[in-house]
Every structure is written in C-alpha cells, then in structure tokens.
C-alpha cells in the first residue's frame, strides 16, 4: 500500500529534548518544590522507560520514598511539580535552547514537496509541542501538520498505541498508508502496536530496542556533510534520508510487517 502520510514523534525524534531540555526542567521544578531530587543524565535515561512527565515523577517518588508517594496530597504535589517543569521547559525552548535534529527541517520540507500528509503523535503536552514548533520551524509551523496528537488527547500514553490510533482516525488513514518516526522502545511499541510501519531514528537514549520489525533503524535524518547511517530492510544504509526512499522501504516491507 502506498505511503500517504508521515507521523512524527517529537521528543528524541524531531529534537533531542530529553537530556538538556526536559531533564533540566524537571530538576529546576524539584528545586522550587523543595524536593531534594536531582536527575542526572544516566538516571534520567533509565526513567525514560516511564513515558509522561507526571508519571515519571510518581515512579521515581515510589522508588525513593514509597510512604511519601502514597501519602494524601502526593499526586497533587506531583502535578504541581510537573506543571512547573512544563513552564521551565517552554521557557528554555522559547530561549532557543532546543534545536531540531540535523536534517529534520529538510526532511519535512521534502516530504511536503513529495505530497505526503504530515502528523505528530507524541506523549508530551500541547504546550511543549507548540513551543518547539514555533521556535524551530516558525510561527506557522503547526499548520504544516494536519493532526497534532499529544499526551493530553488520550487516556493511555505510549507504549499504548492509543495516540497513533487517534491520528489514524482523525486523518482517516489506514496504518499501512503511514510511516512513523520514533526514537525509543516505548514509542516504537506504540506505533507498531497500531500497525504503523516505523523508522527508528536513534539518539543517545534509544538503547538497543527492541526494534524488531522496524523498516529501518538509523542514527539521524542526515544533512549535507552529516550523512546518517544505519540499517534499512536488513541492509546497511548511509546518506540523507529522502521521503521517496522511506516510501519505497515501506512498500517493500509491507509484506513482512502486519498492519
Ligand atoms: C516523551 C516523553 C515525555 C517527555 C516529557 O515520549 O516521555 O514524557 O519526556 O513530557 P515520546 P511531559 O517521545 O515517546 O512521546 O513532561 O510533557 O509529559
Ligand atoms: Mg520519543
């Protein structure tokens, strides 16, 4: 089936937001809340297995102080810390501290030229996505995406496929008519769980997967002077990722990936 749309994850895929963005914002919020917690890069990498910032806070709280985490009011405190974290994160993005990954803007422009419909499926909040898009791709950037599905839109976050199903429903597309771009094991599980053929674009936090069934696992989108590399359809691949090439990969792999 021909690819008609590309669905992008945000955190870790469009931009390396986690280590120097979300993590730093969490720590600032903890300080303000009088919580004696500091999430270093390695600990944060482990906590990324829990998707959603508020959920991540509660998971950590349960680990380090189970009785405190079970006390009345703990949930409200976590929500308040998470809201403060969002304010810090948006401030950092507004200050231009987070850039898109190399080659993302090029790929998006080429995808539009190729006639692909574009969407976003992310765990993070609408506020965070809006800030990132307007500060990197410009004020009109949200209009590039026909559908922006965030963690606020669904009851169950990734690795649950709900956010992808939401996008497919809104766009009236079948899973096999789309290709998703994800950077993490929970994100990959969400996309594949909805039957969407997926390209994994790894970063420092991606780990080894499992990414079984991905149509490609590559380390970036690639730009002139910065070729990406990895595997596609089981073969080594290097270069600048092109939308047409991704569409070809998806067509070729459609016989092996269930949809
Ligand atoms: C990203 C996340 C998010 C961010 C924080 O997952 O798990 O929780 O780390 O966002 P994905 P919030 O890239 O798979 O969508 O604090 O706004 O929840
Ligand atoms: Mg991600």
**Structure confidence at residue 1 (pLDDT):** 83
Whose Cα sits closest to atom 8 in ligand 1? 52
CA distance linking residue 8 with residue 201, whole number of Å: 11
Q: How confident is the model at residue 253 (pLDDT cuts 50, 70, 90)?
A: confident
Task: Find the ligand nearest to 189 CA.
Answer: 1
Query: Is 9 one of the catalytic residues?
Result: yes
Ligand 1 atom closest to the Cα of residue 18 is 9
**Structure confidence at residue 254 (pLDDT):** 77
Please state the pTM of the whole predicted model: 0.96
Cα-Cα-Cα-Cα dihedral sign, residues 45, 49, 52, 58: negative
* Count, residues in the chain: 259
**Structure confidence at residue 159 (pLDDT):** 97
pLDDT tens for each residue of 122-159 = 999 999 999 999 999 999 999 999 999 999 889 999 99
Percent above pLDDT 70 for the chain: 98
CA distance linking residue 213 with residue 210, whole number of Å: 9
The SS3 of residue 193 is: helix
Biggest alpha carbon distance in the chain?
A: 55
pLDDT tens for each residue of 74-106 = 999 999 999 999 999 999 999 999 999 999 999
**Structure confidence at residue 152 (pLDDT):** 87
Nearest to 188 by CA among 204, 169, 164: 164
**Structure confidence at residue 259 (pLDDT):** 41
* 22 pocket-lining for ligand 1 (C-beta < 6 Å): yes
**33 C-alpha to center of ligand 2: Å?**
27
Other beta carbons within 10 angstroms of residue 255's beta carbon come to: 6
pLDDT tens for each residue of 221-251 = 999 999 999 999 999 999 999 999 999 999 9
Query: Is 219 one of the catalytic residues?
Result: no
Residue 258 above 80 pLDDT?
A: no
Residue 256 above 70 pLDDT?
A: no
Cβ-proximal residues to 110 (8 Å cutoff; 6+ apart), any chain:
242, 243
* 186 pocket-lining for ligand 1 (C-beta < 6 Å): yes
Ligand 1 atom closest to the Cα of residue 82 is 16
* 3 pocket-lining for ligand 1 (C-beta < 6 Å): no
Task: Find the ligand nearest to 52 CA.
Answer: 1
Average confidence score pLDDT of the chain: 96
């Amino acid at each position: 089936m021909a690819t008609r749309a590309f669905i992008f994850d945000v955190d870790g895929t469009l931009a390396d937001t986690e280590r120097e963005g979300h993590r730093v914002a969490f720590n600032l919020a903890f300080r303000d809340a009088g919580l004696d917690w500091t999430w270093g890069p390695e600990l944060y990498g482990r906590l990324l297995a829990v998707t959603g910032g508020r959920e991540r806070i509660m998971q950590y709280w349960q680990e380090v102080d189970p009785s405190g985490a079970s006390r009345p009011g703990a949930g409200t405190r976590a929500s308040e810390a998470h809201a403060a974290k969002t304010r810090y994160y948006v401030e950092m993005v507004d200050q231009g501290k987070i850039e898109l990954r190399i080659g993302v803007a090029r790929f998006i422009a080429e995808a539009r030229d190729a006639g692909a419909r574009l969407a976003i499926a992310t765990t993070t909040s609408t506020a965070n996505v809006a800030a990132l898009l307007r500060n990197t791709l410009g004020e009109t950037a949200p209009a590039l995406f026909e559908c922006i599905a965030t963690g606020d839109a669904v009851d169950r976050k990734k690795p649950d496929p709900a956010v992808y199903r939401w996008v497919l429903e809104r766009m009236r597309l079948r899973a096999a008519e789309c290709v998703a771009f994800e950077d993490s094991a929970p994100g990959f599980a969400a996309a594949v769980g909805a039957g969407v053929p997926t390209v994994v674009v790894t970063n420092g936090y991606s780990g080894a997967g499992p990414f079984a069934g991905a149509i490609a696992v590559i380390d970036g989108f690639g730009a002139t002077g910065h070729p990406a590399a990895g595997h596609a359809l089981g073969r080594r691949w290097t270069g600048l990722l092109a939308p047409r090439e991704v569409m070809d990969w998806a067509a070729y792999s459609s016989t092996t990936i269930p949809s």
